[in-house]
Amino acid sequence: MKKLFILLAAVAAIYLIYDNFVRKENEAIQVEGSLVRVQESASLEAPGVTARNYGHAEGTVKNTSDKVVKNIVINYMIDRQVSSASISHLNPNEETKFITNPVMLRVMEPPFYIESVKFE
């Protein structure tokens, strides 16, 4: 019984260390974005040519830490393709807008999610 209590106390201590120190580093950047779909125009006189659809992510990114964050790279997966945006730096509590590079869409309602946020 004593060994079980020691094991549970160790697990709780490891979780608290992770929650207070390791996880907070990943929460320094807060990203909110949405998918924007754009369809290029097609000529009615050329029936064999169809319009292509493009998509990109746009939104805001905010530095929630008290340190300057540099070299921010935001990667989204749009229709199984990586679409990314780069921001050189963000000061503490600064918020800015971002737009990722466009990718050609294969379907009108593509899967869309944030892949990763990397920074220094």
In this prediction, residue 1 carries a pLDDT of 80
Q: How far is CA 111 from CA 12, 33, 59, 95, in A?
A: 37, 14, 17, 26
In this prediction, residue 105 carries a pLDDT of 92
- What are the backbone dihedrals phi and psi of residue 65, each rounded to the nearest 5 degrees, phi first? -95, 180
Q: How confident is the model at residue 21 (pLDDT cuts 50, 70, 90)?
A: low
In this prediction, residue 49 carries a pLDDT of 65
- What are the backbone dihedrals phi and psi of residue 9, each rounded to the nearest 5 degrees, phi first? -65, -40
Residue 23 lies in a domain: no
In this prediction, residue 77 carries a pLDDT of 95
Q: How far is CA 55 from CA 22, 30, 35, 73, 93, in A?
A: 34, 22, 7, 18, 29
Taking only the tens place, the pLDDT of each residue in 46-102 is 666 677 889 999 999 999 888 899 999 999 999 999 999 999 999 999 999 999 999
Q: What CATH number has the domain bearing residue 59?
A: 2.60.40.10
Residue 96 lies in a domain: yes
Residue 13 lies in a domain: no
In this prediction, residue 23 carries a pLDDT of 56
Residue 94 lies in a domain: yes
Alpha carbons 81 and 26: distance in angstroms, whole number: 24
| Residue 65 C-alpha from the chain's centroid | 17
- Mean pLDDT, rounded, for 93-119: 92
Q: What domain range includes position 106?
A: 28-118
Burial class of 67 by CB neighbour count within 10 A (0 to 12, 13 to 18, 19+): exposed
Taking only the tens place, the pLDDT of each residue in 22-50 is 655 557 889 999 999 988 776 666 666 67
Residue 91 lies in a domain: yes
Residue 85 lies in a domain: yes
Residue 39 lies in a domain: yes
The total domain count for the chain is 1
Residue 88 lies in a domain: yes
